[in-house]
Amino acid sequence: MKFAKFSAISIYTASRSHSFLRLQCLIRKSNMSGGYTLRVIPLSSHSIQSCEKTSGTDCMSDMDSWADQSSLPNATSMFQRERLNHGKVEISPSAYDTAWVAMVPARGYSGSKQPCFPQCLDWIMKNQNPDGSWGLQYPGHSLLVKDSLSSTLACVLALRKWNEGQQLDWTSSGLMVGLPVGKISFLPLDSVLFFPAMINYAKELDLTLPLSSTLVDSLLHVRDSEIRRNQNLEYVAEGLGNSCNWKEILTRQTSNGSLFNSPATTAAALIQCHDDKCFQYSISVLKVFDRWVPTMYPMAIYTHLCMVDTLERLGVSRYFRHEIDCILDEMYRCWQGKEEEISGHEFIDREHFFNTVGRQYSGVTTVLELYRASQMRIYKEEAILEKIHAWTSAFLKQQLLSGSILDKGLHKQVTDKIKNFHGTLDGVGNRRSIELYDVQNVQILKAAYMRRTIHNEDFIQFSVQDFSISQDQYQKELQQIQRWCAECRLDRLNQGRKALQVCYFLSAAVIVDRELSTARMSYAQVIVLLTCLDDYFDLYGSREEALRIIELVRNWNMQPAKTELSEEAEILFTALYKTVNEVAAEAYATQGRCVKHDLVSMWVELLTNSARTKEPWSDSKMPNLDEHLSIAWKTVGCKLCVLTSIHFLGMKLPADVFTCAELTNLCKNASLVCRLLNDLRTFKREYAERVLNSVSVQTIEGAISEEEAILKVKQMIEDNKRKVLRMVYQREGSVVPRKCKKLFWKTCKIAYFLYSHDGGDEFTSPQEITKDMNAVIWEPLEPKSFSEAVEHQEWRDAMRSELDTLEKSSTWHLSTLPEGKLAIGCKWASRQWNVEFTAYGFRQSVHDHYLFVKDIPLGPIVLLVYVDDILITGPSLSAIQEVKNYLHTLFTIKDIGDARYLLGLEIA
């Protein structure tokens, strides 16, 4: 990477749609008077690797690990590989956009009484939903209910315009049914803009709609307010009709003839302006999709980048290294050629960004990606990214507080990133991504759409299977490390922290690939030994014996006399001696050279400096901050963990790697990040014990306040984090293999993971991380589909039990499904319970039909129903128990105890 030309950093931002993409942000120096501009380019995080190819064993395009593809069914991976290779975008039809294309008159345009694209009319007539609507249907999905309103009205207008579809029952269809008068928020914001225009057009066509004048007036008022408040409305120009300056809008036309790659907007321009480029664009889209159009075209680049991003998030990208590299090479070629679909947006600040990118890119997802981008600052001065961080973090926090993020998956992602951005370990992130993956994922632009290229059962089944196999291996490795612990007699140490499982979990969460078992085990062994030695030095060992252990390590081959050490000290030295020798022997087998001297030297350095920092401070020998940190960074196990395990990452290490300045700087900067994060959590305890750390050393003599010292430490963490990331992405002149550099950064993430929780030191007192540890190692993933669930006996039994319960409760009566009607799911079963609740004295809320309230002398009893779950609260336990007893006489119920979570929120 040539830093003199531009700096490239791995970031997240949004492009072309409401979905996640890993991208590259190229920050280029402009003229001296112009400062910096930021250009967001739709490239994957691997694009840095694709910019320039290198030779040798450590190409930037290499995967983090080997992939044993034989460990998973070839047929499964073949399906994924085919999707990556064939280039076809699997996207659902857009009834809304197809209707607008259908309204385009034949050449001769507005004077013509024939449609230009009759095949679209034919598609509309053959694709009406059973309930009379048009658009995607997915039971229970609120976005699709809203989307069907716009899609249905657009299709009705197209049919009416050409006097087609009289045989369809669209006049009595579900059009607008359930749209509450006055509740305009029920509609998506873009729909509010183009919905009134379609209503006016319906009047012109003498089409009567089941809408009150009050509702129409409200829609017009909201639309006019939005027009006055927003500048970038060209994307929904079809909703502005004749009030648009269409000639000016056509100046935004792309080389493919479209407006914003939107078939609907382009069709509206074609109706208004008779533009030949718009006509050719519409022809080109229909050549691909035949009788219908999607809500955006083209989408190939965007979709393929989403595929890369999805595979990375699910933790299976290593199986598709060649395919991913081909995609990213093509993306980079497009970027070099400045092709429109991959060009980006330049922006300076928040206002400029929202005024530039257009409405289709300005949602929460886009802001989340920009927030991620702002976290990846690698230079000392990153003014633009710092500005982005300030406003995006404030925006996302406000969205969470206001409850504006309705999508549960997106809400979870925003919450996690705001809470602890750098503290998501790879294994934990993969698990969360798998759990949030939705085969029926629906995205919304103007219209709802689904992309089977990205969201399909093949991807999730493959990922679940891969994760499950990894869990099996992790469990076996944990047993191995427990045996190692017993063989080294470390389990006989009665004092100190019992952190064996936590140590292994941290290792498994950063070195996730199954094939790297030896690297993972050696990393975990180092953490265990460091923990045991630190506890001995810090808590219960004598200083004399600590110094004796150090002397024995320094004189490695000199065995201690039996009476020379206490039992605890002898166990610790023997465990260290045995483990280092075994690791050195394995490293010799993989690297072809002896590394024992390097390993022993690192242990001597760490233990010696640890002993020095344990000395109580006195006024006569008070170091300053720089002097303290020159020793303190060497007491962190970051260097030892990484430089022990890198011998087993599947690559040959250069002979001079351990002596190069680059590695020394990596060790120092990464270790400082870990040391300083720990200090922020432990400085009060250590001050009471008269042990110095980076906070107390600044405040003891009263030079600055505690608050000022903390701010300075936080800035030092930020500065060193940027240096680490800069070295990770540096290529020219780099000697250290990138896999090694990435492992340093992942080790820094462990420190963020452990020490950034509000509760304090999660390593010493694990609370929050226990859930993540169980999720990575122990808890099996729940099936993502019925076909997957029926493969497991326990899930078949659970389904049988659920059905038995519903049948015993007389929830339904078997009958023949009437023709043209849809069966409903069990979510509707709760409707049958309402009668029983009201009979017992509960009244149903008119504001929320799932809420029931019963008044008793002590106060109200509240009952909240969701599907087949009931939450009860009230003024006394006896009153609640009485309700439960009554319910049990009516239904087969199971009391699962006190509520801990409600709709994903923890109940304090």
For 838-885, what is each residue's pLDDT tens digit?
A: 888 888 887 777 889 998 888 899 988 877 778 899 888 888 888 888
**Local structure of residue 644 (DSSP, 8 states):** H
Using CA atoms, how far apart are residues 25 and 373, in angstroms rounded to an integer? 8
Residues of the chain with pLDDT > 70, as a percent, come to 78
For 151-210, what is each residue's pLDDT tens digit?
A: 888 898 999 899 887 766 554 444 444 343 333 344 555 566 677 778 778 888 888 777
Given the structure tokens 């109940």, which residue do they identify? 907
Identify whether the C-beta of residue 105 lies closer than 8 Å to the C-beta of residue 116.
Answer: yes
Using CA atoms, how far apart are residues 717 and 634, in angstroms rounded to an integer? 16
SS3 content of the chain, % helix, strand, coil (to 5): 60, 5, 35
Model confidence at 253: pLDDT above 50: yes
Predicted pLDDT of residue 69 = 42
Q: What is the mean pLDDT of residues 654-677?
A: 93
Model confidence at 4: pLDDT above 80: no
Least confident of 71-85, 252-266, 596-610, 625-639: 71-85
For 262-321, what is each residue's pLDDT tens digit?
A: 999 999 999 888 889 999 999 999 999 999 999 999 888 888 888 888 899 999 998 888
Model confidence at 58: pLDDT above 80: no
Identify whether the C-beta of residue 455 lies closer than 8 Å to the C-beta of residue 785.
Answer: no
Q: For residue 375, which phi and psi values (nearest 5 degrees)?
A: -80, -15
Tokens of 434: 């798998």
The three-class DSSP label of residue 482 is helix
Predicted pLDDT of residue 812 = 66
- Which residue from 323, 306, 316 is spatially nearest to 469, judged by alpha carbons? 316
C-alpha separations of 693 from 94, 219, 309 in Å: 61, 62, 40
Using CA atoms, how far apart are residues 233 and 240, in angstroms rounded to an integer? 9
For 223-236, what is each residue's pLDDT tens digit?
A: 777 666 666 677 77
Predicted pLDDT of residue 209 = 75
Identify whether the C-beta of residue 102 lies closer than 8 Å to the C-beta of residue 120.
Answer: yes
Using CA atoms, how far apart are residues 503 and 500, in angstroms rounded to an integer? 5
Burial of 95-113, coded b for 16+ CB within 10 Å and e otherwise, reads: bbbbbbbbbbbeeeeeeee
Least confident of 120-124, 350-354, 443-447, 763-767: 350-354
Predicted pLDDT of residue 831 = 54
The DSSP bridge partners found for residue 24 are 10, 41
Model confidence at 8: pLDDT above 70: no
Average pLDDT, the chain: 79
- Which residue from 789, 786, 757, 794 is spatially nearest to 772, judged by alpha carbons? 757
**Local structure of residue 791 (DSSP, 8 states):** T
More confident: 283 or 758 = 283
10 Å Cβ neighbour count for 391? 18
Q: What is the mean pLDDT of residues 701-724?
A: 91
Beta sheet of 7-13, edge-to-edge order: 7-13, 21-29, 36-41, 345-347
**pLDDT-based confidence at residue 445 (cuts at 50, 70, 90):** confident
Model confidence at 135: pLDDT above 50: yes
**pLDDT-based confidence at residue 29 (cuts at 50, 70, 90):** very low
Predicted pLDDT of residue 31 = 28
Model confidence at 20: pLDDT above 50: no
Predicted pLDDT of residue 279 = 94
C-alpha separations of 487 from 254, 520, 644, 708 in Å: 69, 19, 21, 48
Model confidence at 352: pLDDT above 50: yes
Least confident of 41-50, 64-73, 640-649: 41-50
For 377-421, what is each residue's pLDDT tens digit?
A: 888 888 888 888 888 899 899 899 988 887 788 888 899 899 889
Using CA atoms, how far apart are residues 264 and 67, in angstroms rounded to an integer? 44
More confident: 672 or 557 = 672
Predicted pLDDT of residue 101 = 95
